[in-house]
Chains A and B, each alone.
Chain A
Amino acid sequence: MNASIARRKTRTNLWKYVAGAVIALLLAHNSVYFKKLDEVKAAGSAGSGKFDAATYAQTFWRTKLIPSLPNAATDLATLLPLLKTDKDKAFTTYSQALGIGNIRYFLVKGEGTVTAVNDNDVTLSLTSGETVRLATEYIFGNAARDASGLIKITEFDNTTDLNNVSAAINDIVRKDVIPPLKVAAKPGKKLQFIGAIELNRAHLHLENMEVIPILVN
Protein backbone atom coordinates (compact mmCIF):
# COMPACT_ATOMS: atom_id res chain seq x y z
CA MET A 1 0.00 0.00 0.00
CA ASN A 2 2.78 2.38 1.08
CA ALA A 3 4.89 1.34 -1.90
CA SER A 4 2.03 2.14 -4.29
CA ILE A 5 1.57 5.62 -2.70
CA ALA A 6 5.32 6.25 -2.97
CA ARG A 7 5.28 5.16 -6.64
CA ARG A 8 2.34 7.49 -7.32
CA LYS A 9 4.18 10.34 -5.57
CA THR A 10 7.33 9.71 -7.61
CA ARG A 11 5.27 9.69 -10.81
CA THR A 12 3.52 12.95 -9.83
CA ASN A 13 6.90 14.53 -9.02
CA LEU A 14 8.28 13.33 -12.34
CA TRP A 15 5.39 14.99 -14.19
CA LYS A 16 5.99 18.15 -12.18
CA TYR A 17 9.65 18.15 -13.22
CA VAL A 18 8.76 17.50 -16.86
CA ALA A 19 6.13 20.29 -16.84
CA GLY A 20 8.60 22.62 -15.11
CA ALA A 21 11.31 21.82 -17.63
CA VAL A 22 8.91 22.43 -20.58
CA ILE A 23 7.84 25.80 -19.13
CA ALA A 24 11.48 26.77 -18.47
CA LEU A 25 12.45 25.80 -22.04
CA LEU A 26 9.51 27.75 -23.46
CA LEU A 27 10.42 30.82 -21.42
CA ALA A 28 14.07 30.57 -22.42
CA HIS A 29 13.13 30.10 -26.06
CA ASN A 30 10.82 33.11 -26.08
CA SER A 31 13.08 35.45 -24.11
CA VAL A 32 16.17 35.08 -26.28
CA TYR A 33 16.12 35.91 -29.95
CA PHE A 34 18.67 36.84 -32.54
CA LYS A 35 18.37 39.44 -35.25
CA LYS A 36 20.80 40.39 -37.96
CA LEU A 37 22.41 43.80 -37.37
CA ASP A 38 21.39 44.74 -40.93
CA GLU A 39 17.71 44.12 -40.10
CA VAL A 40 17.87 46.28 -37.00
CA LYS A 41 19.72 48.94 -38.98
CA ALA A 42 17.08 48.90 -41.72
CA ALA A 43 14.28 49.20 -39.16
CA GLY A 44 16.02 51.99 -37.18
CA SER A 45 13.76 55.01 -36.88
CA ALA A 46 12.20 54.55 -40.26
CA GLY A 47 10.29 57.34 -41.92
CA SER A 48 6.65 57.27 -42.90
CA GLY A 49 7.41 54.89 -45.76
CA LYS A 50 5.11 56.89 -48.05
CA PHE A 51 7.17 60.05 -48.29
CA ASP A 52 9.20 60.54 -51.48
CA ALA A 53 12.02 62.90 -50.52
CA ALA A 54 13.43 63.13 -54.07
CA THR A 55 10.08 64.27 -55.52
CA TYR A 56 9.52 66.67 -52.63
CA ALA A 57 13.01 68.15 -53.15
CA GLN A 58 12.54 68.52 -56.92
CA THR A 59 9.20 70.31 -56.45
CA PHE A 60 10.62 72.51 -53.70
CA TRP A 61 13.67 73.39 -55.81
CA ARG A 62 11.72 74.16 -58.98
CA THR A 63 8.58 75.84 -57.66
CA LYS A 64 9.68 77.48 -54.43
CA LEU A 65 13.43 77.91 -53.98
CA ILE A 66 14.62 79.01 -57.42
CA PRO A 67 11.73 81.50 -58.01
CA SER A 68 12.32 83.06 -54.57
CA LEU A 69 16.08 83.50 -54.90
CA PRO A 70 16.46 87.01 -56.37
CA ASN A 71 14.45 88.62 -53.56
CA ALA A 72 15.12 86.23 -50.69
CA ALA A 73 18.93 86.17 -50.80
CA THR A 74 20.86 88.75 -48.80
CA ASP A 75 23.85 90.38 -50.45
CA LEU A 76 27.07 89.42 -48.67
CA ALA A 77 28.14 93.07 -49.03
CA THR A 78 25.26 93.89 -46.63
CA LEU A 79 25.39 90.81 -44.42
CA LEU A 80 29.12 90.56 -43.65
CA PRO A 81 29.50 94.11 -42.24
CA LEU A 82 26.33 93.62 -40.17
CA LEU A 83 27.60 90.31 -38.78
CA LYS A 84 30.76 92.13 -37.69
CA THR A 85 29.02 95.11 -36.11
CA ASP A 86 25.68 93.74 -34.85
CA LYS A 87 25.70 89.96 -34.87
CA ASP A 88 22.38 89.55 -33.06
CA LYS A 89 20.55 91.81 -35.50
CA ALA A 90 22.09 89.97 -38.47
CA PHE A 91 20.99 86.59 -37.13
CA THR A 92 17.53 87.78 -36.13
CA THR A 93 16.89 89.50 -39.45
CA TYR A 94 18.43 87.15 -41.97
CA SER A 95 19.02 83.65 -40.57
CA GLN A 96 16.74 80.62 -40.72
CA ALA A 97 16.76 77.08 -39.26
CA LEU A 98 14.18 74.33 -38.96
CA GLY A 99 15.54 73.29 -35.59
CA ILE A 100 16.60 75.21 -32.53
CA GLY A 101 20.09 75.93 -31.22
CA ASN A 102 23.15 77.87 -32.32
CA ILE A 103 23.42 76.57 -35.89
CA ARG A 104 21.66 78.96 -38.30
CA TYR A 105 21.57 79.32 -42.07
CA PHE A 106 21.61 82.32 -44.42
CA LEU A 107 20.59 82.57 -48.06
CA VAL A 108 23.25 84.83 -49.58
CA LYS A 109 24.29 86.30 -52.91
CA GLY A 110 27.47 87.90 -54.13
CA GLU A 111 29.76 88.63 -57.03
CA GLY A 112 33.48 88.08 -57.26
CA THR A 113 36.53 87.03 -59.22
CA VAL A 114 37.82 83.47 -59.16
CA THR A 115 41.24 83.42 -57.54
CA ALA A 116 41.75 79.66 -57.22
CA VAL A 117 40.14 76.43 -58.36
CA ASN A 118 40.86 73.74 -55.76
CA ASP A 119 39.96 70.05 -55.41
CA ASN A 120 37.11 70.77 -53.01
CA ASP A 121 36.08 74.36 -53.76
CA VAL A 122 36.42 77.51 -55.85
CA THR A 123 37.84 80.57 -54.11
CA LEU A 124 36.28 83.91 -54.96
CA SER A 125 37.46 87.40 -54.09
CA LEU A 126 34.29 89.44 -53.58
CA THR A 127 33.98 92.94 -54.97
CA SER A 128 33.57 94.06 -51.33
CA GLY A 129 37.06 92.67 -50.56
CA GLU A 130 36.25 89.50 -48.59
CA THR A 131 37.08 86.00 -49.73
CA VAL A 132 34.57 83.13 -49.83
CA ARG A 133 34.74 79.56 -51.07
CA LEU A 134 32.06 77.99 -53.24
CA ALA A 135 31.90 74.30 -52.25
CA THR A 136 32.25 71.80 -55.09
CA GLU A 137 32.98 68.59 -53.14
CA TYR A 138 31.50 68.62 -49.63
CA ILE A 139 27.83 69.26 -50.34
CA PHE A 140 26.34 68.03 -47.08
CA GLY A 141 24.20 69.30 -44.22
CA ASN A 142 21.03 71.33 -44.02
CA ALA A 143 22.10 74.73 -45.39
CA ALA A 144 20.35 74.42 -48.77
CA ARG A 145 17.21 73.00 -47.12
CA ASP A 146 16.89 75.55 -44.32
CA ALA A 147 18.40 78.83 -45.55
CA SER A 148 15.36 80.06 -47.48
CA GLY A 149 12.95 79.49 -44.58
CA LEU A 150 10.43 78.14 -47.10
CA ILE A 151 10.21 74.66 -45.57
CA LYS A 152 8.33 74.47 -42.27
CA ILE A 153 9.09 71.99 -39.52
CA THR A 154 5.36 71.40 -38.99
CA GLU A 155 5.20 69.78 -42.45
CA PHE A 156 7.09 66.77 -41.04
CA ASP A 157 6.25 64.44 -38.20
CA ASN A 158 9.39 62.34 -38.40
CA THR A 159 13.04 63.26 -38.61
CA THR A 160 13.95 60.63 -41.20
CA ASP A 161 11.86 62.37 -43.86
CA LEU A 162 13.38 65.70 -42.87
CA ASN A 163 16.93 64.31 -43.19
CA ASN A 164 16.11 62.70 -46.52
CA VAL A 165 14.93 66.06 -47.87
CA SER A 166 18.34 67.57 -47.07
CA ALA A 167 20.10 64.70 -48.79
CA ALA A 168 17.82 64.99 -51.87
CA ILE A 169 18.35 68.77 -52.16
CA ASN A 170 22.11 68.27 -51.84
CA ASP A 171 21.88 65.71 -54.66
CA ILE A 172 20.26 68.35 -56.87
CA VAL A 173 23.13 70.73 -56.09
CA ARG A 174 25.68 68.00 -56.95
CA LYS A 175 23.92 67.12 -60.20
CA ASP A 176 22.65 70.46 -61.51
CA VAL A 177 24.82 73.19 -59.98
CA ILE A 178 28.34 71.85 -59.45
CA PRO A 179 29.17 70.53 -62.99
CA PRO A 180 28.51 73.89 -64.75
CA LEU A 181 30.26 75.73 -61.90
CA LYS A 182 33.36 73.57 -62.37
CA VAL A 183 33.32 74.29 -66.11
CA ALA A 184 32.86 78.03 -65.61
CA ALA A 185 35.37 78.48 -62.79
CA LYS A 186 38.65 79.70 -64.27
CA PRO A 187 41.06 81.97 -62.41
CA GLY A 188 40.31 85.60 -63.27
CA LYS A 189 36.72 84.94 -64.30
CA LYS A 190 33.88 86.93 -62.69
CA LEU A 191 31.01 84.91 -61.19
CA GLN A 192 27.68 85.86 -59.67
CA PHE A 193 26.29 83.36 -57.20
CA ILE A 194 23.40 82.66 -54.83
CA GLY A 195 23.93 80.06 -52.14
CA ALA A 196 23.49 78.98 -48.54
CA ILE A 197 25.89 79.33 -45.61
CA GLU A 198 25.91 77.85 -42.12
CA LEU A 199 27.05 79.94 -39.16
CA ASN A 200 27.19 79.33 -35.42
CA ARG A 201 25.38 82.10 -33.57
CA ALA A 202 27.39 81.67 -30.36
CA HIS A 203 30.78 80.99 -31.95
CA LEU A 204 30.90 83.09 -35.08
CA HIS A 205 33.78 82.67 -37.55
CA LEU A 206 33.63 84.64 -40.77
CA GLU A 207 37.06 83.71 -42.09
CA ASN A 208 37.20 80.82 -44.51
CA MET A 209 33.44 80.98 -45.17
CA GLU A 210 32.01 78.23 -47.38
CA VAL A 211 28.93 78.67 -49.55
CA ILE A 212 26.80 75.79 -50.84
CA PRO A 213 26.03 77.10 -54.34
CA ILE A 214 22.42 77.11 -55.56
CA LEU A 215 22.63 79.34 -58.63
CA VAL A 216 25.82 80.45 -60.41
CA ASN A 217 26.18 82.73 -63.45
Chain B
Amino acid sequence: MTSQRFIFLWFISLLLTSSCTNKTDSGQPKKVAVIVSTLNNPWFVVLAESAAAEAKSLGYEAKVFDSQNNPSLEADHFENAIVSGFNAILLNPTDSDGSIVNVQKAKDAGIPVFCMDREVNSSKVATSQILSDNYSGCVSIGEEFVKDLNKKGAYVEILGMVGDNNTWNRSKGFHSVVDRYPGLKMVAQQSGDFDRNKAMDVLESILQAHPDINAVFCGNDAMAMGAYQALVAAGKAKEVGVYGFDGADDVMNSIRDKKIKVTGLQSPQTMAKTAAQFADTYFKGKRDFAQRIPVAVELVTQKTIDDYETPAKP
Protein backbone atom coordinates (compact mmCIF):
# COMPACT_ATOMS: atom_id res chain seq x y z
CA MET B 1 0.00 0.00 0.00
CA THR B 2 2.81 2.38 0.98
CA SER B 3 4.81 1.56 -2.14
CA GLN B 4 1.69 2.05 -4.28
CA ARG B 5 1.19 5.46 -2.71
CA PHE B 6 4.85 6.29 -3.32
CA ILE B 7 4.59 5.30 -7.00
CA PHE B 8 1.41 7.35 -7.32
CA LEU B 9 3.03 10.43 -5.77
CA TRP B 10 6.14 9.95 -7.92
CA PHE B 11 3.92 9.77 -11.03
CA ILE B 12 2.01 12.93 -10.06
CA SER B 13 5.23 14.84 -9.34
CA LEU B 14 6.62 13.68 -12.70
CA LEU B 15 3.51 15.00 -14.42
CA LEU B 16 3.75 18.31 -12.62
CA THR B 17 7.44 18.68 -13.39
CA SER B 18 6.94 17.90 -17.05
CA SER B 19 4.18 20.52 -17.29
CA CYS B 20 6.56 23.18 -15.97
CA THR B 21 8.92 23.09 -18.93
CA ASN B 22 8.72 24.67 -22.35
CA LYS B 23 8.47 21.20 -23.90
CA THR B 24 5.40 19.02 -24.41
CA ASP B 25 5.27 15.38 -23.26
CA SER B 26 6.55 14.32 -26.67
CA GLY B 27 9.67 16.45 -26.17
CA GLN B 28 8.58 19.01 -28.76
CA PRO B 29 8.53 22.70 -27.78
CA LYS B 30 5.14 23.95 -26.57
CA LYS B 31 3.16 25.79 -29.21
CA VAL B 32 1.80 29.33 -28.95
CA ALA B 33 -0.85 30.58 -31.39
CA VAL B 34 -0.94 34.31 -32.12
CA ILE B 35 -4.43 35.09 -33.44
CA VAL B 36 -4.64 38.69 -34.59
CA SER B 37 -7.66 40.66 -35.83
CA THR B 38 -5.98 41.81 -39.05
CA LEU B 39 -2.59 41.84 -40.72
CA ASN B 40 -3.82 44.48 -43.14
CA ASN B 41 -2.73 47.27 -40.78
CA PRO B 42 0.96 47.80 -39.90
CA TRP B 43 0.13 48.43 -36.23
CA PHE B 44 -1.32 44.92 -35.84
CA VAL B 45 1.53 43.42 -37.85
CA VAL B 46 3.94 44.82 -35.24
CA LEU B 47 1.71 43.43 -32.47
CA ALA B 48 1.59 39.93 -34.01
CA GLU B 49 5.25 39.76 -34.99
CA SER B 50 6.43 41.03 -31.58
CA ALA B 51 4.28 38.41 -29.81
CA ALA B 52 5.54 35.58 -32.01
CA ALA B 53 9.17 36.74 -31.72
CA GLU B 54 8.98 36.93 -27.92
CA ALA B 55 7.36 33.48 -27.71
CA LYS B 56 10.11 32.03 -29.91
CA SER B 57 12.83 33.74 -27.86
CA LEU B 58 11.34 32.05 -24.79
CA GLY B 59 11.75 28.64 -26.45
CA TYR B 60 8.29 28.02 -27.88
CA GLU B 61 6.97 27.36 -31.35
CA ALA B 62 4.82 30.27 -32.51
CA LYS B 63 2.41 30.63 -35.41
CA VAL B 64 0.49 33.75 -36.46
CA PHE B 65 -3.15 33.49 -37.64
CA ASP B 66 -4.84 36.42 -39.44
CA SER B 67 -8.57 36.75 -38.67
CA GLN B 68 -9.02 39.41 -41.39
CA ASN B 69 -11.41 41.31 -39.08
CA ASN B 70 -13.83 38.40 -39.47
CA PRO B 71 -15.15 36.79 -36.25
CA SER B 72 -16.07 33.53 -38.04
CA LEU B 73 -12.54 33.21 -39.41
CA GLU B 74 -11.29 33.85 -35.88
CA ALA B 75 -13.56 31.00 -34.70
CA ASP B 76 -11.96 28.72 -37.32
CA HIS B 77 -8.50 29.68 -36.06
CA PHE B 78 -9.52 28.79 -32.50
CA GLU B 79 -10.87 25.39 -33.65
CA ASN B 80 -7.64 24.83 -35.54
CA ALA B 81 -5.47 25.86 -32.57
CA ILE B 82 -7.39 23.58 -30.20
CA VAL B 83 -7.31 20.58 -32.55
CA SER B 84 -3.65 21.13 -33.46
CA GLY B 85 -2.58 21.02 -29.82
CA PHE B 86 -1.50 24.62 -29.25
CA ASN B 87 -0.73 25.19 -25.58
CA ALA B 88 -1.56 28.92 -25.33
CA ILE B 89 -3.26 31.58 -27.43
CA LEU B 90 -2.20 35.23 -27.63
CA LEU B 91 -5.28 36.96 -28.98
CA ASN B 92 -6.06 40.30 -30.50
CA PRO B 93 -9.86 39.87 -30.76
CA THR B 94 -11.96 40.88 -33.75
CA ASP B 95 -14.99 41.73 -31.62
CA SER B 96 -15.20 42.43 -27.90
CA ASP B 97 -18.52 40.57 -27.62
CA GLY B 98 -18.32 38.16 -30.57
CA SER B 99 -14.92 36.78 -29.55
CA ILE B 100 -16.06 35.71 -26.06
CA VAL B 101 -17.41 32.38 -27.33
CA ASN B 102 -14.08 31.58 -29.00
CA VAL B 103 -12.09 32.34 -25.86
CA GLN B 104 -14.54 30.22 -23.85
CA LYS B 105 -13.94 27.26 -26.20
CA ALA B 106 -10.19 27.51 -25.60
CA LYS B 107 -10.76 27.79 -21.86
CA ASP B 108 -12.96 24.68 -21.95
CA ALA B 109 -10.13 22.88 -23.75
CA GLY B 110 -7.72 23.95 -20.99
CA ILE B 111 -5.82 26.43 -23.18
CA PRO B 112 -4.99 29.80 -21.60
CA VAL B 113 -5.82 32.89 -23.66
CA PHE B 114 -4.04 36.22 -23.20
CA CYS B 115 -5.72 39.17 -24.92
CA MET B 116 -3.58 41.91 -26.39
CA ASP B 117 -4.65 45.52 -27.00
CA ARG B 118 -8.36 44.79 -27.49
CA GLU B 119 -10.44 43.33 -24.70
CA VAL B 120 -13.31 40.87 -24.62
CA ASN B 121 -16.33 41.99 -22.61
CA SER B 122 -16.06 39.23 -20.04
CA SER B 123 -13.88 38.89 -16.98
CA LYS B 124 -14.33 35.12 -16.77
CA VAL B 125 -12.91 33.67 -19.97
CA ALA B 126 -9.44 35.06 -20.75
CA THR B 127 -6.55 34.26 -18.41
CA SER B 128 -5.47 37.90 -18.56
CA GLN B 129 -6.01 40.91 -20.82
CA ILE B 130 -3.13 43.28 -21.52
CA LEU B 131 -4.62 46.51 -22.78
CA SER B 132 -3.52 49.98 -23.74
CA ASP B 133 -4.59 52.43 -21.05
CA ASN B 134 -6.75 54.33 -23.54
CA TYR B 135 -8.67 56.17 -20.84
CA SER B 136 -5.64 57.52 -18.96
CA GLY B 137 -3.85 58.30 -22.23
CA CYS B 138 -6.78 60.47 -23.26
CA VAL B 139 -6.94 62.09 -19.80
CA SER B 140 -3.39 63.33 -20.52
CA ILE B 141 -4.40 64.46 -24.02
CA GLY B 142 -7.46 66.22 -22.58
CA GLU B 143 -5.31 68.09 -20.06
CA GLU B 144 -2.92 69.22 -22.81
CA PHE B 145 -5.93 70.19 -24.95
CA VAL B 146 -7.35 72.41 -22.18
CA LYS B 147 -3.98 74.07 -21.61
CA ASP B 148 -3.41 74.67 -25.35
CA LEU B 149 -6.84 76.25 -25.76
CA ASN B 150 -6.53 78.19 -22.51
CA LYS B 151 -9.82 76.68 -21.29
CA LYS B 152 -12.03 78.14 -24.02
CA GLY B 153 -13.00 77.53 -27.63
CA ALA B 154 -15.10 75.40 -29.98
CA TYR B 155 -14.04 71.92 -30.96
CA VAL B 156 -15.05 68.81 -32.89
CA GLU B 157 -14.64 65.21 -31.78
CA ILE B 158 -14.22 62.49 -34.40
CA LEU B 159 -14.89 59.14 -32.78
CA GLY B 160 -13.62 55.73 -33.85
CA MET B 161 -15.97 52.79 -34.52
CA VAL B 162 -18.97 53.17 -32.24
CA GLY B 163 -19.08 49.46 -31.38
CA ASP B 164 -15.45 49.38 -30.22
CA ASN B 165 -14.61 49.68 -26.51
CA ASN B 166 -11.41 51.58 -27.29
CA THR B 167 -13.46 54.31 -28.97
CA TRP B 168 -15.42 55.00 -25.79
CA ASN B 169 -12.53 54.57 -23.35
CA ARG B 170 -10.65 57.23 -25.31
CA SER B 171 -13.65 59.53 -25.58
CA LYS B 172 -14.54 59.15 -21.89
CA GLY B 173 -10.96 59.83 -20.76
CA PHE B 174 -10.83 62.98 -22.89
CA HIS B 175 -14.22 64.24 -21.70
CA SER B 176 -13.42 63.47 -18.04
CA VAL B 177 -11.07 66.45 -18.29
CA VAL B 178 -12.47 68.71 -21.02
CA ASP B 179 -16.08 68.66 -19.77
CA ARG B 180 -14.97 70.32 -16.53
CA TYR B 181 -14.33 73.51 -18.51
CA PRO B 182 -17.59 75.17 -19.60
CA GLY B 183 -15.68 77.52 -21.92
CA LEU B 184 -14.91 74.57 -24.19
CA LYS B 185 -17.86 73.77 -26.46
CA MET B 186 -18.10 70.60 -28.53
CA VAL B 187 -19.95 71.73 -31.65
CA ALA B 188 -20.02 68.30 -33.33
CA GLN B 189 -19.25 64.67 -32.48
CA GLN B 190 -19.29 62.13 -35.30
CA SER B 191 -17.76 58.76 -36.06
CA GLY B 192 -14.94 58.49 -38.58
CA ASP B 193 -14.69 54.69 -38.10
CA PHE B 194 -10.93 54.96 -37.38
CA ASP B 195 -10.56 55.65 -41.11
CA ARG B 196 -8.50 58.47 -42.61
CA ASN B 197 -10.71 59.16 -45.64
CA LYS B 198 -13.93 58.95 -43.68
CA ALA B 199 -12.58 61.37 -41.05
CA MET B 200 -11.62 63.78 -43.82
CA ASP B 201 -15.12 63.63 -45.32
CA VAL B 202 -16.74 63.99 -41.89
CA LEU B 203 -14.70 67.07 -40.96
CA GLU B 204 -15.21 68.65 -44.38
CA SER B 205 -18.96 68.53 -43.93
CA ILE B 206 -18.78 69.69 -40.29
CA LEU B 207 -16.67 72.67 -41.36
CA GLN B 208 -19.52 73.78 -43.64
CA ALA B 209 -21.75 74.26 -40.59
CA HIS B 210 -19.03 75.21 -38.08
CA PRO B 211 -16.24 77.08 -39.86
CA ASP B 212 -14.90 78.74 -36.68
CA ILE B 213 -13.63 75.79 -34.67
CA ASN B 214 -10.39 75.89 -32.69
CA ALA B 215 -9.50 72.22 -32.40
CA VAL B 216 -10.30 68.65 -33.45
CA PHE B 217 -9.88 65.64 -31.18
CA CYS B 218 -9.65 62.36 -33.09
CA GLY B 219 -9.92 58.83 -31.66
CA ASN B 220 -6.89 57.64 -33.61
CA ASP B 221 -4.00 58.92 -35.70
CA ALA B 222 -5.36 57.82 -39.08
CA MET B 223 -8.39 60.06 -38.48
CA ALA B 224 -6.11 62.85 -37.23
CA MET B 225 -4.28 62.74 -40.58
CA GLY B 226 -7.62 62.83 -42.41
CA ALA B 227 -8.80 65.76 -40.28
CA TYR B 228 -5.56 67.61 -40.98
CA GLN B 229 -6.06 67.08 -44.73
CA ALA B 230 -9.59 68.50 -44.47
CA LEU B 231 -8.24 71.55 -42.61
CA VAL B 232 -5.52 72.06 -45.24
CA ALA B 233 -8.18 71.94 -47.96
CA ALA B 234 -10.26 74.52 -46.04
CA GLY B 235 -7.22 76.76 -45.47
CA LYS B 236 -7.51 76.35 -41.68
CA ALA B 237 -4.60 74.04 -40.90
CA LYS B 238 -2.63 76.74 -39.06
CA GLU B 239 -5.38 77.97 -36.75
CA VAL B 240 -7.05 74.65 -35.81
CA GLY B 241 -5.15 72.21 -33.57
CA VAL B 242 -5.43 68.49 -34.34
CA TYR B 243 -5.11 65.88 -31.59
CA GLY B 244 -4.71 62.17 -32.34
CA PHE B 245 -4.05 58.87 -30.58
CA ASP B 246 -1.77 55.90 -31.39
CA GLY B 247 1.72 57.28 -32.03
CA ALA B 248 1.65 56.30 -35.71
CA ASP B 249 4.78 57.22 -37.68
CA ASP B 250 3.08 59.74 -39.97
CA VAL B 251 1.58 61.59 -37.00
CA MET B 252 4.87 61.54 -35.06
CA ASN B 253 6.48 63.13 -38.15
CA SER B 254 3.60 65.63 -38.40
CA ILE B 255 4.08 66.63 -34.74
CA ARG B 256 7.76 67.15 -35.50
CA ASP B 257 6.74 69.33 -38.48
CA LYS B 258 4.32 71.27 -36.19
CA LYS B 259 1.28 70.17 -38.22
CA ILE B 260 -0.39 68.08 -35.54
CA LYS B 261 -0.40 69.07 -31.86
CA VAL B 262 -0.46 65.90 -29.81
CA THR B 263 -0.82 62.14 -29.87
CA GLY B 264 -0.90 59.34 -27.29
CA LEU B 265 1.85 56.83 -28.00
CA GLN B 266 0.77 53.23 -27.53
CA SER B 267 3.26 50.40 -27.36
CA PRO B 268 2.15 47.29 -29.26
CA GLN B 269 5.57 45.78 -28.56
CA THR B 270 5.10 46.06 -24.78
CA MET B 271 1.64 44.46 -24.93
CA ALA B 272 2.80 41.64 -27.22
CA LYS B 273 5.93 40.84 -25.22
CA THR B 274 4.00 40.90 -21.94
CA ALA B 275 1.38 38.50 -23.34
CA ALA B 276 4.10 36.04 -24.45
CA GLN B 277 5.88 36.36 -21.09
CA PHE B 278 2.58 35.72 -19.28
CA ALA B 279 2.09 32.52 -21.33
CA ASP B 280 5.62 31.50 -20.30
CA THR B 281 4.90 32.08 -16.60
CA TYR B 282 1.57 30.24 -17.01
CA PHE B 283 3.43 27.19 -18.35
CA LYS B 284 5.71 27.44 -15.32
CA GLY B 285 2.77 27.27 -12.93
CA LYS B 286 1.62 30.86 -12.30
CA ARG B 287 -2.16 31.21 -12.15
CA ASP B 288 -2.91 34.45 -10.25
CA PHE B 289 -2.97 36.88 -13.19
CA ALA B 290 -4.75 40.20 -12.96
CA GLN B 291 -7.75 40.08 -15.29
CA ARG B 292 -6.96 43.41 -17.00
CA ILE B 293 -3.57 45.07 -17.03
CA PRO B 294 -3.26 48.60 -18.37
CA VAL B 295 -0.22 49.48 -20.47
CA ALA B 296 0.78 53.13 -20.17
CA VAL B 297 0.18 55.47 -23.10
CA GLU B 298 2.73 58.27 -23.40
CA LEU B 299 1.75 61.85 -24.21
CA VAL B 300 3.73 63.15 -27.19
CA THR B 301 3.58 66.89 -27.86
CA GLN B 302 5.55 69.35 -29.97
CA LYS B 303 7.62 69.99 -26.79
CA THR B 304 8.43 66.32 -26.10
CA ILE B 305 8.68 64.96 -29.66
CA ASP B 306 12.49 65.20 -29.59
CA ASP B 307 12.49 62.43 -26.95
CA TYR B 308 11.34 60.01 -29.61
CA GLU B 309 13.27 58.63 -32.55
CA THR B 310 12.42 59.99 -35.96
CA PRO B 311 10.41 57.34 -37.78
CA ALA B 312 11.19 56.88 -41.47
CA LYS B 313 9.04 59.14 -43.64
CA PRO B 314 6.93 57.12 -46.11
Contacts and interface: CB of A to CB of B under 8 A. Distances in A.
A30 interface: no
B290 A153 contact: yes
Given A44-B168, A44-B169, A45-B119, A140 B294 contact: no
B177 A140 contact: yes
A97 B162 contact: no
B165 A99 contact: no
A141 B297 CA distance: 12
B245 to A, nearest CB: 15
Given A44-B169, A159-B135, A103 B298 contact: yes
Given A140-B143, A159-B294, A163-B173, 6 more contacts: A44-B165, A103-B298, A140-B140, A162-B292, A167-B176, A205-B304
Nearest to A97: B296
Interface of B: 96, 119, 121, 123, 130-131, 133, 135-136, 139-140, 142-143, 146-147, 162-163, 165, 168-169, 171-173, 176-177, 189, 267, 270, 274, 288, 290-298, 304, 307-308
Contacts of B121: 45
B86 to A, nearest CB: 25
B168 A45 contact: yes
Closest 4 CB pairs of A and B: A101-B296, A99-B294, A44-B168, A103-B296
A133 B186 CA distance: 31
A37 interface: yes
> Interface size bucket, A side?
20 to 34
A154 interface: yes
Interface in A78-109: 97-103
Contacts of A41: 168, 171
Contacts of B163: 40
A141 B139 contact: yes
Given A141-B136, A159-B131, A163-B173, A99 B142 contact: no
